[in-house]
Structure 1
Amino acid sequence: MKWLKKSVLLIAVFAVGVVSGSMIWTSSANNTGLVDPNRPGSVNDPLITKSYVDQAVAGQVKTELEKQLQGQLEQLDKMLADKQKEMDDKIVQFQKQLDALISKAGGMTVVELQPNQTMYADPGATFIVRNGTTIAVSTDANGIPDVTGGKDLMDGTPIELNHMLIFPREGRGIKSTHSSTVFVMVTGGYTVMNPDGTIAASSSMDNSDQNETAE
């Protein structure tokens, strides 16, 4: 039994010595640089979790997708704006052609009214405003008969599009409050006045006279 106790004691002493020696060697290796400081899990190369990687990658992907989407939206907006302008131009051209055909068929004249110009009607003339905004001009308390709407338009009253106005007397007309050209279908005589009181056009003037006045 004594030899068994001695054997156990020797084994224990040996194990303690091995562990102590290993710890001393590891500490010495760290101090002398024998252990790689960049090994995975070290201070210089820490381990990261999968959730962290997923979050970082997801953030980068989201940012890149937002940039691409913004660029595509800007291109789409530009394409829509170009198409809208193209359609507006075609509508204006079609309206001019339609008005010209109606004018030839019914003896009407299409007059272009510029911003702030006033067009006075000769007695018996009729006006139909095709686009834009205009107001009634009248020195008569009875106003201008709107036969389409079935009412009289007093001075300063907005005129509805495609309504036929009849002018039984002089001193009545319409004024453009639009920012661009207003097209008016006219039957009978008329006179277009500039804001300064000069004559811009008249049914009694031939084309050459009107061109000289416009210049």
Structure 2
Amino acid sequence: MKKVYKISAGVLLLSSCIVIGSVMNFQVSGATPPPGTADDPVVTKSYVDQQIQKALNGGGGTTTPTNPTNPTTPSQPSQGTDEVKNVALKPGKILIADAGAEFIVRSGNAVIYTEDSNGVADLTDGKDLLNGQAAPKNHLLSFPREGRGIQVKEGQKNGLIVMVRGGYTIK
């Protein structure tokens, strides 16, 4: 009789665990929200591909090529695009950036040019470079306002090669 009692107790225990488990369907709250919510949306591959194409094309739509003016002509502004251009700057000339432009000095010795007391952001070192300070080679320089730029260091006979993103003027 004891054997029948043990088997019955085991079947009853197993059955009750199954019933209790299915009735009390607790959801485990972990680090990730369930898929399909605002915090973790479910998206299709075509949507992801579309968003990647928008990002690659500069925010959406199709891009049309433009014919920018000759950027090396003195006092003639360039077209403001996200295209990176290599600009040759001769001694005695000043490369003035439009607001939001970025420069990288590739060759030659350059110094910062500003008409006010504020400077230019050296994003590579996280410093502010003031008027007359050396502009380091291969550093990303950001120009937050118009009227600031770079020029060839005094006494240097060779010019500069500068990579430019954004608008600029050569004086």
Of the two, which has the highest radius of gyration? 1
**Structure (1/2) with the larger strand percentage:** 2
**Structure (1/2) with the larger helix percentage:** 1
User: Larger relative CO (CA 8 A, sep 6+): 1 or 2?
Assistant: 2
